[in-house]
Structure 1
Amino acid sequence: MDTLGYFVSIFIGISLGLIGGGGSILTLPVLVYLFGINPVLATAYSLFIVGITSLFGTFSNFKKGLVSIKTALVFGIPSIISVFLTRTYVLPAIPEAVLSIGNFTLTKNIFLLLLFAVLMILASYSMIKKSKAASEETSQKTFNYPLVLAQGIFIGLITGLIGSGGGFLIIPALVNLLRLPMKTAVGTSLLIISLNSLAGFLFSLHDTAIDWIFLLKITGFAIAGIFIGMALSKKIKAERLKLGFGWFVLAMGLYILIKETLLH
Structure 2
Amino acid sequence: MLLAGFFGVVMGLVLGLTGAGGGILAVPALVLGLGLTMTQAAPVALFAVGSAAAVGAIDGLRHGLVRYRAALLIALLGAIFSPVGIFFAHQLPEKILMILFSLLMVMVAWRMLRRERREPGPSDHGHANWGQKNCMLDQQTGRFSWTAKCTATLAALGAVTGVVSGLLGVGGGFLIVPAFKQLTDVQMRGIVATSLMVISLISAIGVIGAFHAGVRIDGVGVVFIVASILGMVIGRKLCARVPARLLQIGFASICVMVAAYMLYRAGA
Which category describes the TM-score, using the shorter chain as reference length?
A: 0.7 to 0.9
Residues 35 and 262 of structure 1: CA distance in aligned 2, closer, same or farther (over 3 Å): closer
Residues 135 and 37 of structure 1: CA distance in aligned 2, closer, same or farther (over 3 Å): same
| Structure 1 residue 253, shift from structure 2 partner | 3.4
Instruction: Supply the distance in 2 between the matched residues of 1:56 and 1:5 (Cα, whole angstroms).
Output: 20
Residues 83 and 209 of structure 1: CA distance in aligned 2, closer, same or farther (over 3 Å): closer
Q: Does 1:47 align with 2:53?
A: no
| Structure 1 residue 244, shift from structure 2 partner | 4.6
Match of 1:109 in 2: 94
Equivalent pair of 2:108/2:174 in contact (CA under 8 Å): yes
Match of 1:194 in 2: 200
Equivalent pair of 1:17/1:230 in contact (CA under 8 Å): yes
| Structure 1 residue 43, shift from structure 2 partner | 0.8
Q: Does 1:93 align with 2:91?
A: yes
* Code of the aligned partner of 2:217: D
Instruction: Supply the distance in 2 between the matched residues of 1:19 and 1:213 (Cα, whole angstroms).
Output: 28
Q: What's the Cα RMSD here?
A: 2.1
| Structure 1 residue 130, shift from structure 2 partner | 2.8
SS in 2 for 1:21: coil
| Structure 1 residue 174, shift from structure 2 partner | 1.2
Q: 2:105 aligns with which of 116, 120, 129?
A: 120
Instruction: Supply the distance in 2 between the matched residues of 1:35 and 1:16 (Cα, whole angstroms).
Output: 20
Q: 2:249 aligns with which of 231, 240, 247?
A: 247
Match of 2:146 in 1: none
| Structure 1 residue 155, shift from structure 2 partner | 1.0
Equivalent pair of 2:102/2:262 in contact (CA under 8 Å): no
Q: Does 1:18 align with 2:17?
A: yes
What is the number of equivalent residue pairs in this alignment? 244
Match of 1:183 in 2: 189
CA offset digits 1:192-212 (Å, max 9, x no partner): 001111100101112334234
Match of 1:259 in 2: 261
Residues 168 and 245 of structure 1: CA distance in aligned 2, closer, same or farther (over 3 Å): farther
Q: 2:236 aligns with which of 201, 208, 230?
A: 230
Report % sequence identity: 27
Instruction: Supply the distance in 2 between the matched residues of 1:49 and 1:75 (Cα, whole angstroms).
Output: 20
Residues 207 and 192 of structure 1: CA distance in aligned 2, closer, same or farther (over 3 Å): same
Equivalent pair of 2:113/2:249 in contact (CA under 8 Å): yes
| Structure 1 residue 65, shift from structure 2 partner | 1.2
Instruction: Supply the distance in 1 between the matched residues of 2:247 and 2:166 (Cα, whole angstroms).
Output: 23
Q: Does 1:139 align with 2:127?
A: yes
Task: Return 5+ residue gaps in structure 1 as ranges.
Answer: 95-107
| Structure 1 residue 249, shift from structure 2 partner | 4.8
Residues 131 and 31 of structure 1: CA distance in aligned 2, closer, same or farther (over 3 Å): closer
| Structure 1 residue 122, shift from structure 2 partner | 2.1
Equivalent pair of 2:56/2:233 in contact (CA under 8 Å): yes
| Structure 1 residue 248, shift from structure 2 partner | 4.5
Instruction: Supply the distance in 2 between the matched residues of 1:84 and 1:136 (Cα, whole angstroms).
Output: 40
Instruction: Supply the distance in 2 between the matched residues of 1:227 and 1:131 (Cα, whole angstroms).
Output: 27
Instruction: Supply the distance in 2 between the matched residues of 1:18 and 1:177 (Cα, whole angstroms).
Output: 22
TM-score, with normalisation over the residues of structure 1? Answer: 0.84
Equivalent pair of 2:4/2:223 in contact (CA under 8 Å): no
| Structure 1 residue 47, shift from structure 2 partner | 1.0
Instruction: Supply the distance in 2 between the matched residues of 1:225 and 1:176 (Cα, whole angstroms).
Output: 28
CA offset digits 1:72-112 (Å, max 9, x no partner): 1221111111102322x322332xxxxxxxxxxxxx22221
Match of 2:36 in 1: 37
TM-score, with normalisation over the residues of structure 2? Answer: 0.83
